[in-house]
Chain A
Amino acid sequence: MLRFWPIWVLLLGGLFYWGLQRPNPDELKSVLVGRPAPTFSLPLLAPYRPTFGLEMGIGERLEKPVLLNIWASWCIPCRTEAPLLERFYRQHKDQILILGVNVQDREADALKFVQQYGLTFPSVFDGRGRIGIEYGYYGVPETFVISREGTVLARHAGELSEVQLRAYLEQVLR
């Protein structure tokens, strides 16, 4: 057996290299990537109704690409992410729609959150988090990038940065 030591070294080295090349185990891959986004329509939070109507959601075809952002008022990373999303939405609202889904929350707390950060991108209310489960979410915040054709292009678990938002925008406009 020891005569074949170069083969053993190569095998172990190969295994080690493969282990290093594997994607980050903390990265949560969504089974929805490349598949049609689950469709839904939910009531909008009151401040958005005059502009966007009573309900909003994801249909089979979309007017523009969507960043579906799942959030809750009790979630601390959502609080740091909210001003960034608002700024990004104001800059790129002609190219992309940011649609918030408020989950596992009380409507009054969600409204307070929206008012506190002056969020102009629409958010729907899903108190029990049913749509979150439809999208296979793990927690908040979580963002799904959906193309105009209604296909899920990416899922981002956790807080977004400006660089990541720009990369997703490029990906969706490609």
Chain B
Amino acid sequence: MTKPDQPRSTYITTAFWWLLLLTFSAWAQPTPNTPPPDFSPRVFEIARELRCPVCQGESAAESNAGIAVEMRRIIAEQLAQGRTEAEIRQFFVDRYGDWILYQPPVRGLTLWVWLSPLVGLALLGIGLWRYLARVRAQAQATASDVSEEEIARLESELSQTPER
């Protein structure tokens, strides 16, 4: 609770100090995804597409594990040698397989993973279409199968039914 006789300037000063404290706290946080000064941002762009082999769900750009640091160093060295990004990615694929890539190429089992929702949807569509076609055919058949005689009997029964 605030004291009613407290001067207004005290509130403003307190608010100012809180604001200053929060600003400095915000500055103290590391800026995310900013590469350390030792490697160029391009190194981190390539490393971001590669898994860190010893980490859980971290790329070679995010992790500070020794192996990830060494991977970044290899990328920097190969960039300095004039290798392209594709060549550098291939260097790691040759040693680790497609597993090392965060976006493995769409082939083999990966292709089936991509295609399976489409195949599922197609099967569902065919099933639904066939079911609806059968229901429609049954409805039409039921209407046309009733004989004139039966319709007349039903109408006479309806007309004889006493109204409540």
- What's the dominant secondary structure at chain A's contact region? loop
Q: Write the A15-41 contact mask toward B (1 if CB under 8 angstroms, else 0).
A: 000000000000001011000000000
With an 8 A cutoff between CB atoms, is B96 at the interface?
yes
**B70 adjacent to A128 (CB under 8 Å):** yes
8 A Cβ contacts from A111-127 to B: none
Complex formed: what's the CA distance from A132 to B54 in Å? Answer: 12
Residues of chain A with a CB closer than 8 A to B97's CB = 29, 31, 136
B131 closest partner in A (C-beta): A1
Q: Which of B74, B127, B130 contacts A133 (CB 8 A)?
A: B74
**B95 adjacent to A138 (CB under 8 Å):** no
**B66 adjacent to A128 (CB under 8 Å):** yes
**A129 adjacent to B95 (CB under 8 Å):** no
Interface size on B, residues (CB 8 A): 14
Complex formed: what's the CA distance from A135 to B54 in Å? Answer: 14
Residues of chain A with a CB closer than 8 A to B67's CB = 104, 129, 132-133, 137
Complex formed: what's the CA distance from A1 to B127 in Å? Answer: 7
With an 8 A cutoff between CB atoms, is B73 at the interface?
yes
8 A Cβ contacts from B82-106 to A: 94-97
Find the residue from B71, B73, B94 having the highest chain A CB count within 10 A.
B94
- What's the dominant secondary structure at chain B's contact region? helix
With an 8 A cutoff between CB atoms, is B41 at the interface?
no
Knowing A1-B127, A31-B95, A31-B97, the reply to whether A137 touches B70 (Cβ < 8 A) is: no
Q: Write the A132-155 contact mask toward B (1 if CB under 8 angstroms, else 0).
A: 111111110000000000000000
Give chain A nearest CB distance to B17 CB in angstroms.
46
Interface size on A, residues (CB 8 A): 17
Give chain A nearest CB distance to B15 CB in angstroms.
50
Find the residue from A29, A136, A138 having the highest chain B CB count within 10 A.
A136
**B95 adjacent to A32 (CB under 8 Å):** yes
Residues of chain A with a CB closer than 8 A to B66's CB = 103-104, 128-129
**A133 adjacent to B54 (CB under 8 Å):** no
With an 8 A cutoff between CB atoms, is B35 at the interface?
no
Complex formed: what's the CA distance from A29 to B97 in Å? Answer: 9
Give chain A nearest CB distance to B134 CB in angstroms.
11
A-B contact pairs, 15 of them (CB 8 A): A1-B130, A31-B94, A31-B95, A104-B67, A129-B70, A130-B70, A133-B71, A133-B74, A135-B95, A136-B53, A136-B95, A136-B96, A136-B97, A138-B53, A139-B54
Having A32-B95, A104-B66, A136-B96, one finds 16 other A-B pairs with CB under 8 Å, namely A29-B97, A31-B94, A31-B95, A31-B97, A103-B66, A128-B66, A128-B73, A129-B66, A130-B74, A133-B67, A133-B70, A133-B71, A133-B74, A138-B53, A138-B54, A139-B54
**Which residue numbers of B lie inside 8 Å of A, CB to CB?**
53-54, 66-67, 70-71, 73-74, 94-97, 127, 130
**Which residue numbers of A lie inside 8 Å of B, CB to CB?**
1, 29, 31-32, 103-104, 128-130, 132-139
Return the 8 tightest CB-CB contacts between A and B, nearest first: A136-B95, A104-B66, A31-B97, A136-B96, A138-B53, A139-B54, A128-B70, A1-B127
